[in-house]
Structure 1
Amino acid sequence: MNSIPCSKRSIVFLLLAVAVVGAVGTAAAVTVTEDDVPNEVEAETGTSVTVTLDEPYEGAPSEWTLRAETNLTGERTWQISKRKFGGSGIENESGSGTSIETAVSQSNDDESITLTVTGTMPNRSVYNYEPQQNLSAITLYRVTDSGETEIGTVHVPYYTEQSKEAREQIDQAKAAIDQAGSVSDSTRSDYQSAIEFYNSGQFQSAIREANSAEQSAKQTKQSQQTTQLLIYGGVGVLALALIGGGVWYWRNQQDDYDKLR
């Protein structure tokens, strides 16, 4: 398994509770905590994603069905842990496939539900520089007699060796352009071309254009520094000339004064 873990993050998803009479009710907050979600995963490698659903009855009936789906591929396995009220125990379930369902019941003392899905990050042909392309690793739904409501989706960015290299080169080009401050239209055109090539999956062309933009921006920065040094040097020479001229004038005035005496 090849994944990059990140720190725990919490996302609050809003569920809309609809009254029986058909009026739209107030929004109910359900917290889905991302316990173990990779920052990004290389395509065609294994990974796992873990989330916890707290406050499962907030804006929901006391009994409903939790359905989870994944776009991971390969041999997909699920692990579900239901923590009981008051810490009285944990009930575990398991399954496999693209989705899994489990009953959530207040009468069964289900306080929170933790889900872990394991599978393979597919190599998709869709790439985007900003925001970075990602996969819906887990999508949660609340299913009741009246239908289903999406609780939230956890997205995981993916990459290949070439796309990562291209992204890093574009990042370097952007940093060089930002440092230069003012660059030519040609430099900016190369940078934009690099992004367009990246978005179309032409990573070698993206690397070439981004490298060209970076080198051009660095040359501009160096030229600016050289110009500043020449200006500072010219100011220094002028200052020395003025000082030298002042000293010469003062001494000349002193000599004239001595001759008059």
Structure 2
Amino acid sequence: MTKTNSSRFSRVALAGLLVLLVAAAPVTAASIANEDVPQEAQVGTQVTATITLDELYQNPTLESWQLEGTTELTNVSWTVVYYDQTGSKVNQREFTGQQFSGAPVSADTGTSEVRVRITGTVPRVQQFSYDPPQEFLLMELTQTQEGGASNTLGTWTTHHFTERSDQARNAIDEAQAAIDDAEASGANPQEAQTDFDDAVAAYNDGSFDVAISLANRAVDKANAAQQSRQTRQTIIYAVAGLVVVGLIVGGFLYWRSQRQTYDRLG
């Protein structure tokens, strides 16, 4: 193969590779322009979240598609609002239930932005977890096409809690901070760490009273370890200071005695 043919072959191979990469890349028909989603919420309370989609037709051959949504919220209502390029509302659809489908998005209607708002009640916690914090599916939006092809546009989760679990988490957080402070001071709060680990285990088991008690005990032990470390340091510094003073006094007395001896000889 000549150098020219080799170069031509390389270009053809590269072009073929690019085609394969493009073909393998997921096709998306929208991007997330804005999201207003609660990061945490208490069980049994009502929450609202809003997701705004734009760049709805990134693929030139995909000028229409269907929007679907799912959630773990209960008592759910969805509102899908369509806007044109001027920001004017052109259409609105309402849905209820933990899933909805059949919300059309089409360039023919002049739609350039879609805003999805969900309102519902925060579900109960199935399994508590301190780290990572337990979460539930607040919302997932999916783009579907004719023929059954689908693509997830976005998934949003939220930490949910009960009043008692939140108190337990705060107590464990305080215990962790106390242990960190003790370790930073040079102390070894091993007993506090054991109580902390047990508090986390109790939290994960849903035993929040036990978790709070263990966490508070971990705080006390961590503070005691830090105080003990500081007391030892104070004693060490005091002893060192006394040694230094003793050396100074001893040196002075020795100098004075030597001086007095010199005077008598004179």
Q: How does 1:218-237 map to 2 (within 5 A)?
A: 218-237=223-242
Please state how far the C-alpha of 1:86 moved relative to its aligned partner: 4.0
Cα drift, residue 183 of structure 1: 2.9
- Equivalent-residue separation in structure 2 for 1:193 and 1:31 (angstroms): 44
Q: Equivalent residue for 2:143?
A: 142
Deviations 1:12-41 (A, max 9, x none): xxxxxxx99xx5236759532553211211
Bigger helix share: 2
Residue of structure 1 equivalent to 2:180: 178
Q: Percent identity?
A: 33
Shift of 1:184: 4.5
CA contact (8 A) 1:139 1:151 kept: yes
Q: Which runs of 4+ in 1 moved over 4 A?
A: 26-30
Which residue of 179, 199, 217 corresponds with 1:212? 217
Q: How does 1:39-58 map to 2 (within 5 A)?
A: 39-58=39-58
2: CA distance, partners of 1:212 / 1:28 = 53
Give the number of aligned pairs. Answer: 241
CA contact (8 A) 2:28 2:151 kept: no
Q: C-alpha separation between the residues in 1 aligned to 2:83 and 2:250?
A: 89
From 243, 252, 264, give the equivalent of 1:247. 252
- Note the C-alpha offset of 1:79: 1.7
Q: TM-score, normalised to structure 2's length?
A: 0.83
Counterparts of 1:1-261 in structure 2, within 5 Å, are 24-25=24-25, 30-59=30-59, 61-74=62-75, 76-87=76-87, 89-101=89-101, 102-147=103-148, 148-181=150-183, 182-261=187-266
- Give CA deviations for 1:116-170 in whole Å, capped at 9, x if unaligned: 1111101223111112111111110111123222222111111111100110011
TM-score by length of 1: 0.85
- 1:197-231 Cα deviation digits (max 9, x unpaired): 11121111111221222211111001001111111
Distance 1:33 1:221 in 2: 49
| CA shift in 2, pair 1:104/1:30, >3 Å | closer
DSSP-derived class of the 1:53 partner: strand
* Unaligned segments of structure 2, at least 5 residues: 1-18
If you compute each CA radius of gyration, which structure gives the higher value, 1 or 2? 2
Distance 2:228 2:50 in 1: 51
Distance 2:133 2:71 in 1: 19
